[in-house]
Amino acid sequence: MGFHHHDHGDGHDHHHHGKGASKKALFTSFLIITVFLIVETIGGFLTNSLALLSDAGHMLSDALALLLSLVALHFAARPPSAKKTFGMQRFEILAALTNGVTLVLISLFIFWEGFQRLLQPPEVASGKMIVIAAIGLLANIAAAFVLMRGDYKDNVNVRSAYLHVLGDMLGSVGAILGGILMLAFDWYIADPLISIIVAFLILLSAWRVTKESVNILLEGAPSRLDTTKVEARLGQLDGVRKVHDLHIWTVTSGFDSLTCHLIVEDGLPSYPVLDAALELLQKEFGITHATIQIENSSISHGKLHCQGGARGHVHEHGHSR
């Protein structure tokens, strides 16, 4: 008496359209960042500026992050197989996690180097630093604008790359501000100080994308959904006596899945309940990939041990016909 349903519909058409736009945006941004990475690296050594060098290091991570995100989109587009029934869509989440961890490591390095320079601030060629940082800022603005044309809101992989560029933009603004302070007041401590502030802001963004990626890999419930509310709404459907073994997780960005068992009144036709449940999940919660098993009192629960449901209840069940 179990029923299974997949309904990808327009949601997945939009998902694939978003992938195409994201791939183009990532590639264009990669070219922009790579060109100006070279400029800023040379400029950082010439001016002896930590702010510029940290920004260049961040730009290097940007380029690698964008490249990794491109590779991830390529693998994620591969069709499912007998051994990988969801395809390789999780590769995007692995890329996002790698990008997030990289941002954390870069931030920690900038913290360390910045504190070292706070003790003995070196002299910096502030005039040249301002010019180079301004060029870098323009490059970051261009890359961020391009990425905004991709699926950066709903795709954690693209968003992780976008956060890399956004953090780099902050680095460029900080470098410009530090250059102005040093040029006007010979306040060379501004260079490491601003680097530390920017590193802290980058760290906050990195933590968010890393946390979200880990949650997806651990198959936690999507942050946008309240599982107790989903369970309650399913339980309110006509003829449904109980909802159990409810699981909601994210396969990849924009692709949430749900499985559950619905115990219905004896003698009640199952298909109308199934249809109502699927419609509710799609309209109220945006879940289009659901596997729902309809049961009645004839189903015996006794052998297979399960844990699940929005309230984390434990039950044992085995299906006997």
- The pLDDT score that the predictor gives to residue 293 is 93
- The pLDDT score that the predictor gives to residue 205 is 74
**3 state DSSP class of 241:** strand
Where are the alpha helices (H) located in 149-269, listed in sequence order? 156-185, 190-217, 227-235
Task: Return the structure tokens found at 41.
Answer: 């690296």
- Domains of the chain, start order: 18-216 (1.20.1510.10), 225-293 (3.30.70.1350)
| Cβ neighbour number for residue 74 with a 10 Å cutoff | 13
pTM of the model: 0.70
d(CA 78, CA 135): 38
Contact 167, 174 (CB under 8 A): no
C-alpha dist (Å) from residue 128 to 41, 106, 228, 230: 13, 24, 57, 58
Closest alpha carbon to 158 in 167, 168, 148, 170: 148
d(CA 236, CA 179): 63
d(CA 275, CA 264): 13
Between strands 289-295 and 255-264, the pairing is parallel
Between strands 304-308 and 313-317, the pairing is antiparallel
Packed helices 156-185 and 126-148: angle between N→C axes, nearest 10 degrees: 160
Contact 25, 157 (CB under 8 A): no
- CA torsion sign for 205, 255, 24, 94 is positive
- The pLDDT score that the predictor gives to residue 19 is 59
Contact 146, 28 (CB under 8 A): yes
Mean pLDDT by 10 residues, the chain (321 residues): 46 48 81 84 79 72 76 79 83 83 84 85 82 86 83 71 78 85 87 82 80 90 93 95 94 88 92 95 94 87 50 46 35
Plot region of 305 (φ>0 → left; ψ -120 to 50 → alpha; else → beta): beta
Closest alpha carbon to 246 in 263, 259, 262, 264: 259
C-alpha dist (Å) from residue 48 to 173, 208, 214: 17, 32, 38
Strand partners, 304: 317
d(CA 90, CA 63): 21
